[in-house]
Structure formats: structure tokens, C-alpha cells
Chains A and B, each alone.
Chain A
């Protein structure tokens, strides 16, 4: 029996558990603060618990407007990113061509470079081209960095999908579009859905690029940022923060359940 048995040393268990706790406790704290009766400070422990801030937040038109804009931006950016990302993944995964490495680098670049660079580059380009800031300038930025998540998911699935399936379909008389509809899409569908969900979560949450590409419009993160810099309605911010956590958890859990079987067959969980 070697020292490398199936049982972990106690010290490692404690360190790993403490690390996970470090990652989760701050988020759980948000949930407690959403119920506090304290309005003026971040006092701990909360002097009392109340549900009234949920009603107050519900009746705030500025929160609803910001939420609506965020959902719109996330939905449209995700749609663009799914198309661009899956096209790019199909090209990169299924063929060898000159500049293939450059294309995959170009897709990754918007998230590999600090967001502030993407943001200021887009802003100065809009300025040079005299494009007025609107919802569409926000979408332009979001779609650009959302492509990579769809691309990553799709390219992994394309690599696992055997090319002979497509050839078999063509041999059996299906044309390209029928093959796409009945063979390719069922195979990569869940990967696209998972990528789309992650892209949605990414866009819904983005603030760094958005501060540069938005004019007067406030997405939900922009609204929160203003509250963080100049706190005015702390209880409302607490409730919004909690709702944002819950809203972003759903697509992530969904994406996990859609892709986990695929990861198992690949032999390593990334």
C-alpha cells in the first residue's frame, strides 16, 4: 500500500475545503444582506431581517429598465455569437487551411486581452467613425467577446463528432442542408446550447467593455457599478445583487448538465 492511496491526506482535505469556502462564503453573504433592515451602512450582523426591500425593488422602474436592456443585449449578442462561433468552429475543426492558427487566435484575443483594451479600442473607433452610442454599440462589443465561448464549446464537439457520419449521410442521398438538419445539428446542438448559455451569462454580466460602448443607456451591471461607486440605495442594491446571482446560476447549471456527458467520453474534465 503506497502513500498514494485513494484517501486524501487530512491537510489537503482541509486546505481544499477552506479554498472552496473562500470561494463561496462571500456570495452567500449577499443573500443575508438582501434581508437586512439596515439602510445606511453595511453593518454586520444585520440588526433585523425584513422582506420589504423586495417589494421596494419590484416597484423601481430604473431597475426594470436596466434589466430589460441587459436581457435584450444578451439575447441579441448571444444570437450573433452562436452564428459566428459555430461557423468559425466548423471551419477550424473540419479543415486545414492557411491562417488557421491566426483565425483561432483572433477569436480568443477579445478575452485574452484585458477588457479595458477592447473597450477603449471600440470607443475610439466609434468616435472616429462618428457612430452614436446606442444599444447596438453595446451589442457590437458584447458579440465580439461572446464568440469565443460558443467557439470553444462547438470546436470541442466537432472534434469528437466523426466526419464519417457526414459522409454516410451524403452517401445515403441527403443533400448538404438535410445533412446539416438531421446529422450535424443533432450532434452539436447541445454544445451550441451550452455555449449560447455561457455567452448569455457573460454578456448579461459584462461591465468593463460596456462602460466604454454605452452612452446614456444603463445595463444592469452599469446600474450596479454606479451604486458601488456612489452608494445611494444600499438595500435595493443588495436585492439586485442577489437576483443577479440567481439569474446567472441557472444558465451555468444548464450548460453543465448539457455538456457533462461529452466531457466524460473525452476522458478529461475541463
Chain B
């Protein structure tokens, strides 16, 4: 602490000046201080962010005139009806299925990393695991997608690796699977899935690790003492206790996959995901109401998801 402050007399001296009086006011009236502190962030987020969100929501209740292509400013549910057309329903099911697959596999891949980091890593290894998850999490999203474009390309490292170990027929077999296969990995759903899994994996690891760190070792020992073998302890003790962390992580993987429009555009087949549909409708088509209605879909899905997650206690693990 600054010595000049501690060295000043203990008796409070009246300090004149506008600034000092303002400071006294803040101390005597905490509500004024609170208002001063809260006003800038609340105004910024409330006006710019929430304002835009509500404006967008309002537009989903307008509809576009099919002949002129202009937005008609009359309240209607017609645009939401359009969401139920088979082609749009397909987009929604495709995206939700992908989000669910990514979430399940992210949980499976993340568990060993999170468990090892929470339970066994000490000292230097703890730092290695922490940074090992944080660096990929924070490194550039586009660079990560780009790296996968390099990996999955037909002339890329994955094809090379498969042919080096003589598993080319296996790769061709996988690509021949209808729906998820394709000409090469970079234009198939498998490719899209791998990139999603890679990009969102750290978001699953961190909350899982936080939940696992709170599981007392004594519980695991007690389970072993009662005669459970390690896999029984895993199933009946560890996993139920780690579940809030899994649910917390799944909020990220699910929501991020629902809203992404860049990954399926760069790696994957030409069939649209929700994000791409939003992008296409607001851009070239100029159909803002339908784009707005499309954005309501992930918001509603996430609303239900969060409601369920809260009931499972997932927010304590965040």
C-alpha cells in the first residue's frame, strides 16, 4: 500500500473539492454508487444488444410478399408456417441431429482428458493439461477449421496415412456409406462432424473437469471398499457425480453446433444447416422475416435445453 496513505493522520480531515465531495457522496449513498457502476454496462447491453434482439424477434412476425419480394409490415404467423415446410424441417432435423452426435462424442472423448487432469495430474502436469486445453480453445477458430481442410483434403495427410498403412479400402468403405459418406472426407457429413467435434471439444472438457475435481476421492475409495470394481465405481459413483459437468459442457457443444454456419460451408456437403439457412435468407434472398424465424429455432431449443440443464444442477459446474 502507498505509504502516504498510511502515514496520514487517523483523524478524518474534511477535504474540499468537487471530486472529494462526489467520492463522499458515493460512500454515503451506496445506491448512487451502484447506479454509476451499473448504468454504462446496462445501457450498452440493454440498448444495443437486447434492443437488436427484440427488433429481430419482431421481424419474424412479419412476412415477405411472394410477388414483390418486399417485407410487409403486418403481424402474421405466416413466416413460422413456412418453417414447417419439408425443406426447412429437413434443415432443422439435420442440424439438431448433428448437434446431438457432436455432443455425445465430445462427452466420450473429453471424459478421459478431464478425469486425468482432475484426478491424477499434479504440479507441472496440471499446468500442461490446463494449457493443453486452453490453447486450442482460444486459438483462432478459422485457423482450426483451415487445419481440418488441410487434413481432410483428398491429397491431404489423412488419405496419405490410410494408404501408408494399407487401410485405403477401409476409408473407401467408410466413404461409401450412404448419407454420411461422400466423394471425399472434406465433402461428407463425417468431415463436418469431425471438425465440429474438434472445435467444440475444449468447451466440454473444462466444465467436466470442474465437476470431476469436486468429487471427493473418499467416495471412490468407499465404493471400492464396498467391493465395487473400478468399472462399477465409474458407472455408479463417478459418472452420476460428473453428470452436471457433462450437461454444462453439452450446453456449449449443442448451442455452438446449432448456430454455426461456417464449418458446414467449408467442410461438408452442400446441404444446409440452420446457420447457413439464416445467412442465405438474410443475404441474397433478402428474406429477413424467415431468417429471423430460423434464428428463433435454436433459441427455443436452447431455452428448453437450459431449463432441463438447470433442473439437473448443471449451472453449479460452470
Contact = CB atoms under 8 A, between A and B. Distances in A.
Contacts of A260: 127
A125 B55 contact: yes
Contact of A22 (B46, B109, B265): B109
Interface in A212-234: 221, 224-225, 228-229
A144 B156 contact: no
Interface residues of B, number: 111
Q: Summarize A's interface: helix, strand, loop or mixed.
A: helix
Given A13-B116, A268-B213, A207 B141 contact: yes
Interface stretch (B74-82, B83-91, B129-137, B172-180): B129-137
Nearest to B251: A112
A110 B49 contact: yes
A153 interface: no
A19 B55 CA distance: 43
A84 B44 contact: yes
Contacts, number: 288
Chain A interface size band reads 35 or more
Interface string B18-49: 01101110110010001001101110111011
Nearest to A4: B220
B265 A12 contact: no
Contact of A27 (B5, B126, B139, B255): B139
Interface in A42-100: 42-45, 80, 83-85, 87-88, 90-91, 95, 97
Given A116-B261, A117-B299, A120-B56, A175 B15 contact: yes
**Residue of B149, B260, B295 most packed against chain A (CB within 10 A):** B295
A9 B259 contact: no
A115 B13 contact: no
A121 B45 CA distance: 13
B52 A125 contact: yes
A121 B47 CA distance: 12
Contacts of B206: 270
B138 A228 contact: no
Contacts of B260: 114, 116, 208
A113 B136 contact: no
Interface of A: 2-4, 6-9, 12-13, 15-16, 19-20, 22-24, 26-27, 29-30, 33, 41-45, 80, 83-85, 87-88, 90-91, 95, 97, 103, 106-107, 109-110, 112-118, 120-125, 128, 140, 143-144, 147, 169-170, 172-178, 182-183, 198, 201-202, 205, 207-208, 221, 224-225, 228-229, 237, 241, 244-245, 248-249, 252-253, 256, 260, 268-270
Given A23-B132, A205-B139, 20 more contacts: A2-B220, A3-B233, A13-B116, A16-B112, A16-B117, A19-B109, A26-B147, A29-B147, A43-B155, A44-B155, A88-B41, A106-B49, A110-B49, A117-B295, A120-B278, A121-B53, A172-B8, A176-B26, A176-B27, A241-B143
